Structure 1
């Protein structure tokens, strides 16, 4: 099963420093233009394995939230790929269709998912709605800590504090406030439930 993330930057006109950071994160998950592309100035599409999709979406969100006033809307589409083009935006399949449809109906939510499994979608989208109540409010400093922890999951809080040059107590408080443990459990639930389909 494939996943396609379609997203755009909220308040992108506040400057374009975010673009290099977004490119850096997208490069972790694939190469341009086969797996990811930027288009229309502030929109992007990323294709990757379905198991990675939610973690990648949260990673992108954390990276963009390191810039004050910015946020990102992301629609995750799960399904197949039946046309493989040299550019991700020209490839096709149900994963691409679901991602586009979900993005068109995103409204006030910042993270939504659509697949062929209605029951799975209902449950995950309820969880994502609750998770984004916290994630949408991450201040830049907290987002930077979350982003770094997602990029270095093997680091404990002491090692993370050394890497970021912050007190370990500050790291611990930020991760707790940001709901990092709960977000990790959400990603775990998503990947485990996905195996059933």
Structure 2
């Protein structure tokens, strides 16, 4: 079983690609190498293959990496299933994980994060939770997005260490993480992992 994230970038033309592309690629590189595990195509669309347990965290990090730039965001569909054919490029590989991801992506309307697997009941529960999480994520400021990304990428860092990175006070970090919904998002990621590992 594997998971495929299909995404595209909202308002990609509001900035030059050389401003936001390095930030996106940094996150994609955490999960594998291009073009076998991830690929950016048509300028502002991308696919990433990750283990199912890591899919939600990867999607949230991708969102945070783009929301660091004003007006930008990503639409993301997580597909879970099998991979029956492995090509040199992820965009040419195939299997139910790719089909689920593609179908899920086509159904994204106003919501910008959803999942489709072969377990409809689980999908239904998770998608309701994602919609609630988006109430917070959609309102991230560039500062909130940067801070949340740093906290997720360095889970062992405490607030004092994060404050040093951002050249600010521990109090500001605490407030910033609260505004970004860090505790709730971490709980959601952990719940998601616990459900996926049981599949």
TM-score interval w.r.t. the shorter chain? over 0.9
Instruction: Single out whichever of 124-133 and 170-179 deviates more from structure 2.
Output: 170-179
Gaps of 5+ in 1: none
The DSSP-based 3-state class of the residue aligned with 1:7 is strand
Query: 1:20, 1:196 → 2: CA distance?
Result: 35
> What's the CA shift for 1:99?
0.4
TM-score (norm 2): 0.98
What are the Cα deviations for residues 137-165 of structure 1, in whole angstroms up to 9, with x where unaligned? Answer: 10001100001111111000011101111
> What's the CA shift for 1:167?
1.2
Q: 4+ residue stretches of structure 1 with deviation over 2 A? A: none
Q: 1:192 is matched with which residue?
A: 194
What are the Cα deviations for residues 2-27 of structure 1, in whole angstroms up to 9, with x where unaligned? Answer: 01000011000011211111111101
The DSSP-based 3-state class of the residue aligned with 2:174 is helix
Q: CA RMSD in A?
A: 0.6
Alignment partner of 1:5 is 2:5: yes
Alignment size in residue pairs = 197
Alignment partner of 1:152 is 2:170: no
Query: 1:44, 1:62 → 2: CA distance?
Result: 16
TM-score (norm 1): 0.99
What are the Cα deviations for residues 27-71 of structure 1, in whole angstroms up to 9, with x where unaligned? Answer: 111100000000111010000100100000001101100001101
The DSSP-based 3-state class of the residue aligned with 1:155 is coil
- Which residue of the other structure, out of 57, 61, 65, is the alignment partner of 1:55? 57
Query: 1:101, 1:70 → 2: CA distance?
Result: 23
Q: 1:14 is matched with which residue?
A: 14
